[in-house]
A and B are shown apart, each in its own frame.
Chain A
């Protein structure tokens, strides 16, 4: 069943601008992760935020988590053409099986 839903489905911006992607989920979670996928490739883990955390930073990435609204956002600051990719949120429901449920992703296009 679908857990994460990203919004928007696609986003087009210019280099230097900030990009914000949102993710909503339905059940309680242990943690939420964001992954990047370049066209036709595997996914790369970007950042993980635990259910008891509200905000986390990693380089140009900022992730927030609001467990009361069951939502998360990923902010990429000062975007670059190399940030062009699809971004997926994935939730770990902490059931003990350590499987992740992925959303449909946001396609980000950063133009030079």
Chain B
């Protein structure tokens, strides 16, 4: 099991609320990623980071934002949740200079009512 953690595991929230999904890793990895995955579907990269103070948008347009103030922490924020944000969000990390292998957290299932 990889040492990467996500909280909360499940979240049910009303439309318009601000939410932050937490992701932390204890492996000292420089690279971190956020993916969105609908049930039974492929993963879509929404944000990634190469290190502290580095953030990039992924392939899938997202209304979320991320920050990387500490190496081990990569939170994702939705300023105003909508039902279209209902999905599973997966966080992953990887070594700089590695072979590209990513280590995933258990995911956060988000339901916006």
Contact = CB atoms under 8 A, between A and B. Distances in A.
Interface of A: 1-2, 30-31, 33, 35, 40-45, 48, 50, 86, 88, 92, 97-105, 107
Interface string B86-103: 001010101000111111
Contacts of A101: 45, 59
Interface residues of B, number: 29
8 contacts: A42-B104, A44-B104, A92-B99, A100-B100, A100-B102, A102-B42, A102-B43, A105-B42
B100 A33 contact: yes
B101 to A, nearest CB: 5
Contact of B43 (A33, A44, A88): A88
A88 B59 CA distance: 18
Interface in B6-46: 6, 31, 33, 35, 40-43, 45
A84 B16 CA distance: 38
B109 A48 contact: no
A98 B58 CA distance: 12
By Cβ-Cβ distance, the 8 closest A-B pairs, closest first, are A42-B104, A92-B100, A102-B43, A43-B104, A104-B42, A42-B106, A102-B42, A42-B107
B104 A99 contact: no
B33 A99 contact: yes
B74 interface: no
